[in-house]
Amino acid sequence: MSKRYKIRTFISCTVFAIFAGLLFITNACEPQPPQNSPERAYNDSPDLVVGLIVDQIRPDFIYRYWDHFEEGGFKRLVNDGMFFRNAYFRHLQTSTGPGHAAQLTGASPMVHGLIGNSWYVRELDRNINVIEDVGSGYEGVGSQPDYPGEKSPNNMLPTTVGDELFMHTGERSKTVGISRKDRGAILPAGHTGDAYWYEGATGNFITSTFYMNELPGWLQQFNDRNLPQEYLTGTWDTLLPIEQYVESRPDNNPYEGTFPGMDTPTFPVDLAYLVEEHDQGPGLLNATPFADELLFELGVAAIEGKELGRGDVTDMLMIGLSAADAIGHRFGPASKQVQDYYIRLDRYMAEFFNYLDSEFGLENVLVFLTADHGAVYIPEYMSDLGIPTGHTEFGTSAGGQVENEIRDYLEQTYGDDFLLSYSNQNLYLDHEFIDQNGLDHIVVQKDIKRFALSLDQVGGAITANALNNQEFTEGIRARAMHAFHQQRSGDVVVWLKPQTHGSGTGGTGHGSGWVYDTHVPLIFFGYDIPAGQSNERVFVSDIASTLSVYLNSPFPSGNIGNPLNDFMK
Q: How far apart are CA 74 and CA 347, in angstroms?
A: 9
Q: Among 114, 130, 120, which Cα is nearest to 485's?
A: 114
Q: Please give the span between the terminal C-alpha atoms of the chain, in angstroms, as a whole number.
A: 54
Determine the pLDDT at residue 325. Answer: 97
Q: How far apart are CA 118 and CA 240, in angstroms?
A: 38
Determine the pLDDT at residue 4. Answer: 38
Q: Which amino acid makes up residue 377?
A: Y
Determine the pLDDT at residue 389. Answer: 86
Burial 75-95 (b: 16+ CB within 10 A, else e): ebbbebbbbbbebbbbbbbbb
Q: How far apart are CA 356 and CA 362, in angstroms?
A: 6
Averaged pLDDT of the chain: 92
Q: How far apart are CA 240 and CA 228, in angstroms?
A: 23
Determine the pLDDT at residue 295. Answer: 98
Q: Among 244, 317, 229, which Cα is nearest to 281's?
A: 229
Is 96 in the active site?
yes
Determine the pLDDT at residue 480. Answer: 98
Return the higher-pLDDT residue of 8 and 484.
484
Determine the pLDDT at residue 13. Answer: 45
Q: How far apart are CA 418 and CA 430, in angstroms?
A: 5
394 band by pLDDT with thresholds 50, 70 and 90: low
22 band by pLDDT with thresholds 50, 70 and 90: very low
The predicted model gives 446-469 an average pLDDT of 96
Per DSSP, 39 falls in state P
Q: How far apart are CA 539 and CA 86, in angstroms?
A: 8
User: Is-cis flag, bond preceding 268, omega within 30?
Assistant: yes
For 395-453, write each residue's pLDDT tens digit. Answer: 567 778 899 999 999 999 999 999 999 998 999 999 999 999 999 999 999 999 999 99
Determine the pLDDT at residue 16. Answer: 40
Give, in order, the Cα–Cα distances in Å from 257 to each of 283, 334, 458, 506: 17, 13, 25, 5
For 153-180, write each residue's pLDDT tens digit. Answer: 999 999 999 999 999 999 999 999 999 9
- The H or E element containing residue 331 is helix 323-331
Catalytic residue among 14, 26, 96, 500: 96
Instruction: Name beta bridge partners: 52.
Output: 319, 369
Q: How far apart are CA 555 and CA 191, in angstroms?
A: 15
Burial 546-565 (b: 16+ CB within 10 A, else e): bbbbbbebebbbbbbbebbb
Determine the pLDDT at residue 501. Answer: 79
Return the higher-pLDDT residue of 395 and 459.
459
Q: With DSSP H G I counted as helix, E B as strand and the rest as coil, what are the percentages for the chain, rounded to 5?
A: 40, 15, 45
Burial 390-417 (b: 16+ CB within 10 A, else e): bbeeeeebbbebbbebbeebbeeebeee
Determine the pLDDT at residue 380. Answer: 86
For 286-344, write each residue's pLDDT tens digit. Answer: 999 999 999 999 999 999 999 999 999 999 999 999 999 999 999 999 999 999 999 99
- Its sign, for the CA torsion 305, 308, 310, 313, is positive
For 505-563, write each residue's pLDDT tens digit. Answer: 678 889 999 999 999 999 999 999 999 999 999 999 999 999 999 999 999 999 999 99
Q: Which amino acid makes up residue 516?
A: Y
Q: List CB contacts of 206: < 8 A, sequence separation 6 or more.
A: 140, 141, 142, 143, 147, 196, 197, 198, 199, 215
- The H or E element containing residue 357 is helix 336-359
Residue 366 · residue 46 · CB < 8 Å? yes
pLDDT at 10 over 80: no
Angle at CA of residue 346, ends 508 and 505, nearest 5°: 10
For 247-270, write each residue's pLDDT tens digit. Answer: 999 999 999 999 999 999 999 999
In DSSP notation, 217-244 reads HHHHHHHHT-HHHHHTTSEE--SS-GGG
For 97-109, write each residue's pLDDT tens digit. Answer: 999 999 999 999 9
Determine the pLDDT at residue 1. Answer: 43
By CB atoms closer than 10 A (0-12, 13-18, 19+), residue 64 is middle
- The H or E element containing residue 176 is strand 175-179
Q: How far apart are CA 154 and CA 159, in angstroms?
A: 10
Residue 77 · residue 523 · CB < 8 Å? yes
Determine the pLDDT at residue 503. Answer: 60
Q: How far apart are CA 526 and CA 353, in angstroms?
A: 10
How many residues are there in the chain?
569
Give, in order, the Cα–Cα distances in Å from 490 to each of 268, 453, 479, 499: 45, 17, 15, 24
Instruction: Please report the domains of the chain, with CATH numbers, ordered by start residue.
Output: 48-378+512-568 (3.40.720.10), 388-496 (3.30.1360.150)
pLDDT at 23 over 70: no
Q: How far apart are CA 251 and CA 267, in angstroms?
A: 7
Q: Among 126, 129, 123, which Cα is nearest to 150's?
A: 129
The predicted model gives 222-233 an average pLDDT of 97
Give, in order, the Cα–Cα distances in Å from 439 to each of 416, 417, 421, 465, 491: 13, 14, 19, 15, 14
Return the higher-pLDDT residue of 501 and 547.
547
β-strands 315-321, 48-54: how paired? parallel
Q: Is the pTM of this model over 0.75?
A: yes
| pLDDT cut 90: percent of the chain above it | 86
